[in-house]
Structure 1
Amino acid sequence: MKLIFRLGGIAALVAGLVILAVLPFATSFVEQWARRDVELRSRLVFSTARDQIVDLMVRNDTEQIDRLFERVATDERVLAIGYCDGQELLFPTKNMPGSFSCAQAARSDSETFSTIRADDRDVLVSAFPLKANGRTGHLVVLHDMSYVQRRGAQARNYIFLALAGVALGAAALVAAIALLIMRRWLASVRQAIENVRAGTPPLPHSDDLPAIGKEIHDVLQELDATRRTIDAAHTDWSPDALRAALSNELSGSEVIVVSNREPYIHNRTDNGITLQIPASGLVAALEPITRACGGTWVAHGSGTADRETVDTYDRVAVPPGHPSYTLRRVWLTEEEQDGYYYGAANEGLWPLCHIAFVRPVFRETDWRMYRAVNAKFADAVVAEAKREDPVVLVQDYHFALLPRMIRERLPRATIVTFWHIPWPNAETFGICPWREEIIDGLLGSSILGFHTQAHCNHFLEAVDAYVESRIDRERDAVTYGGEETLIRPYPISIEWPPAALAGQKSVEECRAAVRQRLGLPPEMRLGVGIERFDYTKGIIDRMKAIDTLLTDYPEWKGHFVFAQVAAPTRSKLANYRQLQEEAEALARDINVRHGTEGYEPIKLLVRHHEPDEVFELFRAADLCVVSSLHDGMNLVAKEFVAARDDEAGVLILSAFAGASRELAEALIVNPYNAHAMGEAFNRALTMPLGEQRERMRLMRDQVRERNVYRWAGQMLLAASRLRKRQRIRRVIAESRRRASAYA
């Protein structure tokens, strides 16, 4: 009996020490994230109302400004709003503390946050610079911080009560069972606390876990959501930041990338073996990421000299000259390529998902080949995996079945699949004969990413319509076959700064060189469009818009030329051959009708252009057109913005490209409306330089902050959080198993 009481006393003492250690941490944790939550709310208020405030100030509409401020101040966390013009406080809302003055707010050329005492309470003052009517003032947003102390005290009390209950339960348990069982439970508790201290998000509620108070659960869930938002918004993503994140979050983890297109292609030519870097948005996005994280890239070896440059295990170290990762090539026969790539993927899934009014072709023979090639890639991934729990990044619609195949052979792998093209609505997807198998394959992923939230929603609707599963709409998660898949939007982007920009000459020199090469006079206005010959890109539609421009605004004849760069692609498919023939015929027709001797309004450049050539064209152009009929993202738009370090030039962007969700300062157009597009061309050509720079500056900020390293970082950090949760679950499950064995 004395031993039992002694063990119970030890357990109570240990539990008390845990309470003393955890309480200050928990209180500080809640207060810190609550303040960041308030700062984030202030930023959201400012970003939402900024343009409307500037417009009202320009119009000197003080009555509407007062109404706008009062409406915004109704937010439950906002105390008051005002505008500081120097030391003068303008438009204060009715709840503005009487003791507040502009002198109390810390102000600078960027956003600032400061805490003051006003009316016997702590108030957080957020000040945001705002330029209107040629003067710079500051929008000040005041938040009452007393709720932070209340939340901290409430969380401290709840945690104290919860931990006290655990202590009593532990003491009773130790009195009833052996010391060995208790030690194993304490080991699992210590592991959980260490993961919390390391920043691991709280575990989702489970009936198998010890119950905690609903209030604590809700607070931790809120903090988890806030942290995800703040992490994404405040990290300055770069190759070094990505490497640091990988080092901290995935230290010792193995990373494997899988794609159809390889980042380096070796071809045999008359001059020997040459190296080609393909013009692919997918490769442009993933190659710098794989350099940063190392590991292995598994891809189809398509070059004529690819077999000559690999070792006996079909591997080659890349990039050439400075190897940082391994490229593992997978070989496909011509029959496999025809059925898997040209057939099922590009005659079936590509038109199905893009809804570009080209009928998809579904052949059972193609699908059998698609399944077989996915299995071949699964074999390669398993062969390359050096651990039982690698992080596998599966890329694009070529590998819809691959996640499930990997999951069956590497059940502890963290599989992140990214779908680089749009996902159609459920009704459209329903015409696919293999819809259930595709959904089943993709739900083998731990995380499934799309470009936009709309594509995520469409996928969830398809899952709901065609397979038996449980969908958690609040968390955007699908539980299927006892396994959970998280569905997330990850807008893809480009590296910043782009490598192709490093060797570029000045904008003036690029303008002169391109015009000389195209046989144009120095003063000729130039527009560019750069993509593959693909029916989803709207090449025909933009040519019709140029025809409309020259018809409605004939003064541009002889003064404007459009250079359309179009690399031939998938020439085996009839739709692609017909598109190229139609584009060439339309260009000739427009040049005959609107051209004169020595002047052709459309220059059709049908060949592959290297990245440095593309960026030279971007820098030489007055405008760039991205007129996709339907696109997942379209990185050409972002590359044009990145190329314009002079902050000049105009981007004309289709509303049906994913990039339009981020680059709102472009001229957004409906590519199906030739007249409206022609008007957009004229507006771009007549846009004042000041307006061009204002628009371009905002777009460049967006592309710089939301670059490809952020895209990769978001997915990899999500994978890291998921792996930590799974580790905690395994520890708890193992401790319970051992406890049951000893009981």
Structure 2
Amino acid sequence: MPAGEHDLVVVANRLPVDMTVADDGSLSWTRSPGGLVTALAPVMQRNAGAWVGWSGTPDLEHEPFDGEGMRLWPVRLSESEIAAYYEGFSNGTLWPLYHDVIVDPQFHRAWWNAYVSINRRFAAAAAEAVAEGGTVWVHDYQLQLVPAVLRLLRPDVKIGFFNHIPFPPLEIFSQLPWRRQVLEGLLGADLVGFQRESDAKNFLRAVRRLTDLPTRGRVVTIGERWARPARQVRAASFPISIDSTAFDALASSPAVQKRAVEIRKELGDPEVLLLGVDRLDYTKGIRHRLKAFGELLADGRLAAPEATLVQVASPSRERVEQYRQLRDEVEATVGRINGDYGALGRAAVHYMHHSYPMEEMAAMYRAADVMLVTSLRDGMNLVAKEYVAARRDLGGVLVLSEFTGAADELTQALLINPHDIDGTKAAIMRAIAMEPTERRRRMRGLRRRVLDHDVQRWAEDFLTALANPRPHPRPLVEDE
């Protein structure tokens, strides 16, 4: 395949813009929010980069175009392909499987066939875009087969892959009927990145058990095959972050600080304001959080409306039955708590099932006394880092699930097992009663980590490791 013109190509399920086509055929687009766009846009602009991804609109076919300082390369997906590849295999099979089977994954051959076909389409677009000897960085669980297909098409390029969600233990991953094909897809990369060291260990263990490829430390060796030379694949952790400096500045602006005061006043100036912010997803532990708060009210250890929980649950995958069920359960639980413990015009739980702009979220973070992150399994959880970045005042306490990637870094948080309701309740009460000196000390340590390790550093660390492989990487796991 002839080479393209871009030294760096990013491949992700979505483009960094939302595209729409008017009735007259004219194209318009707006930049999508998100940390990945923030992290990679400056790098792409410096390297004449291209971004391959779906436009977000079914059946939209469009030639590559320039936007956000890079070349945007749309991949067309039909309604039926979105249903099978994205809603089906990606989010009905891989998402629950990779999140410790919190709900049962579904294994359908038609979904798998669509996943294979769409991954080949993304790989072909990347192969067309990348220059001779260039670099392709593939992102996330929707595109795990792209590295191997791309290597067949363009053996001259460097290929990196980053998995934004957890990689499951062997005993869970082995349930996947197409487990070997997925591993072979990932092993098309030169560098496979994960959020946590444990994810990299899980991947390497799966390679050792499910393939005949030799591994040593972090390195998998792919032997010669026909005309292809031997090569090495490395696995390592690169914990993602946020644009912490920008978020710190936003949260410290006079407008946001004023809005934070208004939020507390609108809520009736509670003595204690607890906050949860999540996508409405079964991995986020929202039901566990509500159960713990409801029991604290029932026990008389907290009283509403003096103690108030604000739960923001942005809509997510609402065409999937499991997500509709979750919404019904969460709303029923909120209704019971408010019916039992709320006061006239003063709810115990304020539940919002919609998204907010970043300015409003920053104000909520500044207003909250306690941030509750109770995920049952999470690759990272950037909400925890946003809360820390927002607290230049060193106020607030972060209660953080040990099953998030963020728990490896944010060790000054109060770490919890969200399945342990009594332990979660104890952590909430400890956060509420924490002395100001300890609160400031903990938040100072958290902010040091979040501000030093921002999303730009994450991107630079990964691309540097991809460009400059270490000849003797430090051991990650023992050989078996």
1:511 equivalent in structure 2: 260
Q: Which whole-Å CA distance do the structure 2 matches of 1:625 and 1:276 have between them? A: 32
2:10 equivalent in structure 1: 257
How far does residue 326 in structure 1 lie from its aligned partner after superposition? 2.2
SS at structure 1 position matched to 2:282? coil
Task: From 178, 184, 189, give the equivalent of 1:434.
Answer: 178
2:475 equivalent in structure 1: none
More helix by share: 1
1:478 equivalent in structure 2: 220
How far does residue 552 in structure 1 lie from its aligned partner after superposition? 2.6
Q: Which whole-Å CA distance do the structure 2 matches of 1:555 and 1:332 have between them? A: 50
Is the 8 Å Cα contact of residues 549 and 678 (structure 1) preserved in structure 2? yes
One-letter amino acid of the counterpart of residue 317, structure 1? G
Is the 8 Å Cα contact of residues 65 and 72 (structure 2) preserved in structure 1? yes
1:371 equivalent in structure 2: 116
- C-alpha distance after superposition, 1:421-460 (max 9, x if no partner): 1111111111100001000000000000111111111111
Q: Which whole-Å CA distance do the structure 2 matches of 1:306 and 1:513 have between them? A: 43
SS at structure 1 position matched to 2:240? coil
Task: From 390, 401, 404, give the equivalent of 2:148.
Answer: 404
1:317 equivalent in structure 2: 67
How far does residue 686 in structure 1 lie from its aligned partner after superposition? 1.6
**Aligned residue pairs: how many?**
459
Decide whether aligned partners of structure 1 residues 273 and 254 sit closer, same or farther in structure 2, where only a CA change above 3 A counts.
closer
Normalising to structure 1: TM-score of the pair?
0.59
Task: From 393, 397, 411, give the equivalent of 2:137.
Answer: 393
Decide whether aligned partners of structure 1 residues 593 and 276 sit closer, same or farther in structure 2, where only a CA change above 3 A counts.
farther
Q: Which whole-Å CA distance do the structure 2 matches of 1:381 and 1:496 have between them? A: 30
2:478 equivalent in structure 1: none
- C-alpha distance after superposition, 1:368-423 (max 9, x if no partner): 100110111112112212x2211111000001100001111110111110011111
2:191 equivalent in structure 1: 447
The within-5 A match list for 1:716-727 is: 716-722=463-469
Decide whether aligned partners of structure 1 residues 430 and 294 sit closer, same or farther in structure 2, where only a CA change above 3 A counts.
same
2:237 equivalent in structure 1: 489
2:227 equivalent in structure 1: none
Q: Which whole-Å CA distance do the structure 2 matches of 1:546 and 1:679 have between them? A: 11
Q: Which whole-Å CA distance do the structure 2 matches of 1:305 and 1:442 have between them? A: 28
Which structure has the bigger radius of gyration?
A: 1
- C-alpha distance after superposition, 1:652-691 (max 9, x if no partner): 1000001001000001011111222122222212212221
Decide whether aligned partners of structure 1 residues 691 and 356 sit closer, same or farther in structure 2, where only a CA change above 3 A counts.
farther
The within-5 A match list for 1:690-705 is: 690-705=437-452
SS at structure 1 position matched to 2:241? coil
Decide whether aligned partners of structure 1 residues 645 and 273 sit closer, same or farther in structure 2, where only a CA change above 3 A counts.
farther
2:49 equivalent in structure 1: 295
Q: Which whole-Å CA distance do the structure 2 matches of 1:583 and 1:295 have between them? A: 43
The within-5 A match list for 1:215-254 is: 254=7
The CA RMSD measured in Å over matched residues stands at 2.5
Normalising to structure 2: TM-score of the pair?
0.90
2:476 equivalent in structure 1: none
One-letter amino acid of the counterpart of residue 331, structure 1? R
- 1:595 lines up with 2:363 in the alignment: no
Decide whether aligned partners of structure 1 residues 549 and 313 sit closer, same or farther in structure 2, where only a CA change above 3 A counts.
same
Is the 8 Å Cα contact of residues 192 and 234 (structure 2) preserved in structure 1? yes
Which of 326-335 and 401-410 deviates more? 326-335
Is the 8 Å Cα contact of residues 247 and 386 (structure 2) preserved in structure 1? no
Decide whether aligned partners of structure 1 residues 571 and 423 sit closer, same or farther in structure 2, where only a CA change above 3 A counts.
same
SS at structure 1 position matched to 2:234? strand
Q: Which whole-Å CA distance do the structure 2 matches of 1:609 and 1:365 have between them? A: 37
How far does residue 505 in structure 1 lie from its aligned partner after superposition? 2.6
The within-5 A match list for 1:183-194 is: none
How far does residue 491 in structure 1 lie from its aligned partner after superposition? 0.9
How far does residue 256 in structure 1 lie from its aligned partner after superposition? 0.7
Is the 8 Å Cα contact of residues 561 and 600 (structure 1) preserved in structure 2? yes
SS at structure 2 position matched to 1:254? strand
One-letter amino acid of the counterpart of residue 352, structure 1? L
- 1:326 lines up with 2:75 in the alignment: no
Q: Which whole-Å CA distance do the structure 2 matches of 1:564 and 1:346 have between them? A: 24
Q: Which whole-Å CA distance do the structure 1 matches of 2:295 and 2:188 have between them? A: 49
Is the 8 Å Cα contact of residues 265 and 277 (structure 1) preserved in structure 2? yes
Bigger relative contact order, structure 1 or 2 (CA pairs below 8 A, ≥6 apart): 2
Identity of aligned residues (%): 35
Q: Which whole-Å CA distance do the structure 2 matches of 1:632 and 1:305 have between them? A: 31
Q: Which whole-Å CA distance do the structure 2 matches of 1:436 and 1:510 have between them? A: 52
Structure 1 unaligned spans of 5+: 1-251, 319-323, 726-743
Decide whether aligned partners of structure 1 residues 453 and 661 sit closer, same or farther in structure 2, where only a CA change above 3 A counts.
same
Is the 8 Å Cα contact of residues 266 and 304 (structure 1) preserved in structure 2? no
Q: Which whole-Å CA distance do the structure 2 matches of 1:288 and 1:351 have between them? A: 33
SS at structure 2 position matched to 1:609? coil
One-letter amino acid of the counterpart of residue 670, structure 1? N
How far does residue 551 in structure 1 lie from its aligned partner after superposition? 2.0
SS at structure 1 position matched to 2:389? helix
- 1:543 lines up with 2:290 in the alignment: yes
How far does residue 508 in structure 1 lie from its aligned partner after superposition? 4.6
How far does residue 273 in structure 1 lie from its aligned partner after superposition? 9.0
Q: Which whole-Å CA distance do the structure 2 matches of 1:268 and 1:522 have between them? A: 46
